[in-house]
Each structure stands twice: as C-alpha cells, then as structure tokens.
Amino acid sequence: MRVALIDYGAGNLHSVAKALAAAGVPAFRTRDPAAAGEADALVLPGQGHFGQVMAAFEASGFEGVVRRHLAERRPFLGICVGLQLLMEGSDEAPGIAGLGILRGRVVRFPAADVSVPHMGWNALRPWGDSPLLAGVADGDHAYFAHSYLVAFDEADPTISGVRGGAWTDHGPTRFLSALSSGAVHATQFHPEKSQRVGLRLLANFAAIVRRDAGGEATAT
C-alpha cells in the first residue's frame, strides 16, 4: 500500500508527514505526478489564498493525476484548502475555478458576526456516514485556521453530494468541517495539529486505504 503526499509548493507538508507517520501512514512526499499516479491513496494539503494555491496546483501537473485517481475511486484526503479546491470555486478568488469534484462554493465568514480568521480549537458535530470520523464523538475538538468556508445546511445535509462528515459552528455561522463522498475525504481543520482527534482521523484514513488497497502502508 503506497500513500503519496502531494508536494505542489503549497501546504504544511512536514507536519502533515509527521502526523501521518504517527498514525501509521508513512506517506512518501513527491513532486512527481507520475509517482503520485501509481499511489494507492493521495493526500492533498493546502494553506493560503485559494487563487494562489489553485495556480500552484495546476502548474505542478498534478491536476490530471488527481482527477484520474478519483475517477478510479481510490482513497483521497484533502486538508484545509485541499478541501476547498474540491469545490467549484471560491469567493476568495472570483473567476478562478476549483476542481469541481464536489458541488458547492467556498465563501467568506461574515465578519460582522464572528472574528476572522477562525483560528484555534472548535467542536466537531459528526453527522451521516463518514468512515473518516469513526470514533470521533460529538463535541470533540479540532484545530482550525481559515477565513473561508463551505456552508452547511442541516435542512439539506446532502450538500455537495456528501454522505457524511461533520459541521462546526463559529458564532452564528455553521460550516462543513469534514466530509466523506465515496473515496473522497477531506477536512477544513488541520488533523496534523489536532492531537488525539487528528491522529484518530488519520488512523481511520489508513484503515480506509488498507481496506481498499490491501497490505500495509509503505513510504517507498
């Protein structure tokens, strides 16, 4: 079982790699799309401005690899802006399309209602059927650092075709903080900074990859 940590010039890769290893996922870090294309699972981190991150991702040559990987329903984990890139676009960068893997748009927190950026620990409210969140309890806390969000509507929890995940409240604003949709899994929070909950989530991802690919994880 081979897990590739995509290095496209954006993202806190060192911390993510350490957290994955601690959770039993010794992912190999790569800037080579061909090498990533042979992996059983992909991890896409991201932090910063949506437009700049999307431009770096497109320039890296990984977009086609990710699309083929997802078309083959192989496990994928997006982190922070790595979740936002899956959507159709973001108000942070009008006119720049996201990957459009999931239906939905990224919008800014209403600054009049809450402090922006949303930074620090906040509670997760799991819902639906998400193997990524197995064993994560209602009210468990994770670490966030973001100014933009994917809205979550309790009246329509099938938003973006997501079958399960978690929502989080920041003041009066409710947003999607984690999701599972087929082989696609993603978090708005940073599992690599979320201590016990983050390690549990990454261990769950390892279990998903083992189930789908078979064997133990390898970093080579």
- Whether 80 sits among the annotated catalytic residues: the reply is yes
- Whether 170 sits among the annotated catalytic residues: the reply is no
> Angle at the Cα of 155 (from 154 to 161), degrees rounded to 5?
80
CB burial of 46-83 (b: ≥16 within 10 Å; e: otherwise) equals beeebeebbebbeebebbebbeebbeeebbbbbbbbbb
The amino acid sitting at 54 is M
Alpha-carbon dihedral angle through residues 22, 47, 103, 142, given to the nearest 10 degrees: 50
Q: Which residue is catalytic, options 63, 141, 192, 216?
A: 192
- Whether 63 sits among the annotated catalytic residues: the reply is no
Describe the crossing of helices 50-60 and 63-71 by its angle, rounded to 10 degrees: 80
Q: Which residue is catalytic, options 69, 80, 92, 118?
A: 80
Q: Annotate 11-44 with DSSP letters as a single string.
A: S-HHHHHHHHHHTT--PEEES-HHHHHT-SEEEE
Helix (H) or strand (E) holding 3: strand 3-6
Pair 108, 93: CB distance under 8 Å: no
**The tokens of 188 are what?**
């708005």
CA dist 129 and 42 (Å) reads 21
Give the active site residues: 80, 190, 192
